Structure 1
Amino acid sequence: MINADPQELSKFSELAHRWWDPDSEFKPLHQINPLRLDWIDRLAGLQGKRVLDVGCGGGILSDSMARRGADVLGIDLASRALKVAQLHALEAGTPNIDYREVAVEALAAEQPGSFDVVTCMEMMEHVPDPSSVVAACTRLLKPGGWVFFSTINRNPKSFLFAIVGAEYVLKLLPRGTHEYARFIRPSELAQWCRAAGLDLVQTRGMEYNPLTQRYWLSGDTSVNYLLACRRPA
């Protein structure tokens, strides 16, 4: 069994052609990408590193990490989104980047201990077994390597902000993008990370002001949050 939901893959494939339109449904990803990129680069130092981007979609984060000097492999199971990512890399002349349609668990069996940095952003709330993703990401890391996760907390505030607010009121995302039952509490993600043998290094929240349309990182993990971990050397 591949750890993927066919409905989720179909949902993102339908929008594939709009990944690189900064005013499309993917506008929030374009807006938060510099924040995520700088945070990852500051902690792990991307220059010259071998990096895996799990659930890369159309390649927004993958492409920017390659432009920071990393050797990047982006993987996803949504084939149309991957084709968009590959086409963009060709058109933009992005160096040191490759894409593959492969499950993270399968890649972990094929290339264990191969990457300095693994990123898995806005993906775990879309798969049936997110703990399996955490374990696979850990297996793919070299000793001392970094893994970065981002997802959405599960509580009444996150339901109000991430679903009602983002999908219905502000229309930042298409309706049905998220399913509340699949949101993940930081304590749950931290438990999976520790069970996989990771050391937790830093947790950050991501906030949004609808009036200024500005995102920023903070200590508030009540809705969107990011977690940085390391595999012991």
Structure 2
Amino acid sequence: MDMDLAKLDREIINNEAYDLLAEKWYEAQDDPIALLRNQHKLEMPWILEEIRRNIGFRAEILDIGCGAGFLSNDLALAGHKVTGIDLSTSSLKVAESRDRTHSVKYIQGDAYHVPFPSRSFDVVASMDMLEHVSDPQQVIAEASRVLRPGGLFFFNTFNKNPLAWLVVIKGMEWFVKNTPPQYHVYSLFLEPNKLRLWMEDFGLETVAVRGIRPVFVQKPMLELIRTGIVPKNFQFTFTKSTMIAYTGFAKKMREH
């Protein structure tokens, strides 16, 4: 199940799959991106509430690996000042076209070398992104660098164990149409404890971690298995178990 990480050499993994999506980011149901859209619907209210509780109603936010702007555009709609960076120019064009506030600043940028000065943002998000990079520690280091003291770092990624491999990798390959080869790479999955220790290395203290997974007993799941198409009402849920995937946030307590 593992790949040789030395061969990955600080790459962004499978970026080309996202680069080719274009408007499918928001419209396709016969593609794994539909699952990401539905997962985002669950996460978004929680993210907004934690930002409000810890920062306020108007935060300066950086979305690293913003893709087509699911998170960035919703944050802007809620009144925040948002910047999104991504390597994919086609995804950024879609993100900009879907920004109803016309306020998000979209920039082509490298997650390993974020093009902003230190202490520039109140919040940094790296959602569904750490499992696509061969050097997540460098992404975390950059997130911490550009965060102000007391700022928040939001993340979402996959745990590393046989269950996560079965559900995330094989489940998509077996049941979701148009899943690209090696859409996810098992060797890049991250145990929560390892991620927590890395964040501590860069001055980030974990505040909350929540498990997240599909609702297994739901009619849309049966429809997905039968047709390979993700129903629009397919649901995800938060859970105490982080065995499959997890989301959370940390607070910047010190410089590293």
Residue of 127, 151, 155 corresponding to 1:121: 127
Cα deviation for residue 171 of structure 1 reads 4.5
Q: TM-score, normalised by structure 2?
A: 0.82
Amino-acid identity (%) = 32
> Partner amino acid for 2:44?
L
Residue of 43, 51, 71 corresponding to 1:44: 51
> Partner amino acid for 1:107?
V
Cα deviation for residue 176 of structure 1 reads 2.5
Structure-2 residue corresponding to 1:141: 147
Residue of 108, 111, 122 corresponding to 1:104: 111
Contact 1:3/1:103 (8 A) holds in 2: no
The list of structure 1 runs, each at least 4 consecutive aligned residues, that deviate by more than 6 angstroms after superposition, is: none
> Cα gap change, 1:175/1:196 in structure 2, threshold over 3 Å: closer, same or farther?
same
Contact 2:120/2:147 (8 A) holds in 1: yes
> Partner amino acid for 2:143?
C
Q: TM-score, normalised by structure 1?
A: 0.90
> Partner amino acid for 1:32?
Q
Whole-angstrom distance in 1 between the partners of 2:16 and 2:178: 20
Contact 2:82/2:104 (8 A) holds in 1: yes
Whole-angstrom distance in 1 between the partners of 2:202 and 2:22: 32
Residue of 71, 86, 91 corresponding to 2:81: 71
Q: Counterparts of 1:4-43 in structure 2 under 5 Å?
A: 4-5=11-12, 8-21=14-27, 23-25=29-31, 26-43=33-50
Cα deviation for residue 112 of structure 1 reads 1.1
Structure-1 residue corresponding to 2:250: 229
Residue of 156, 179, 202 corresponding to 2:185: 179
- Structure 2 residues not aligned, in runs of 5+: 1-8, 219-233
- Structure 1 residues not aligned, in runs of 5+: none
Indicate the RMSD between aligned Cα atoms, in angstroms: 2.0
Mean Cα displacement is larger for which, 52-61 or 21-30?
Answer: 21-30
Local SS of the residue matching 1:162? helix
Mean Cα displacement is larger for which, 216-225 or 93-102?
Answer: 93-102
Structure-2 residue corresponding to 1:85: 95
**How many residues are aligned here?**
227
Cα deviation for residue 98 of structure 1 reads 1.2
Contact 1:18/1:24 (8 A) holds in 2: no
Contact 1:118/1:141 (8 A) holds in 2: yes
**Greater relative CO, 1 or 2 (CA 8 Å, sep 6+):** 2
> Partner amino acid for 1:164?
K
Whole-angstrom distance in 2 between the partners of 1:39 and 1:175: 32
Whole-angstrom distance in 2 between the partners of 1:169 and 1:220: 23
Question: Between Structure 1 and Structure 2, whose CA radius of gyration is higher?
Answer: 2
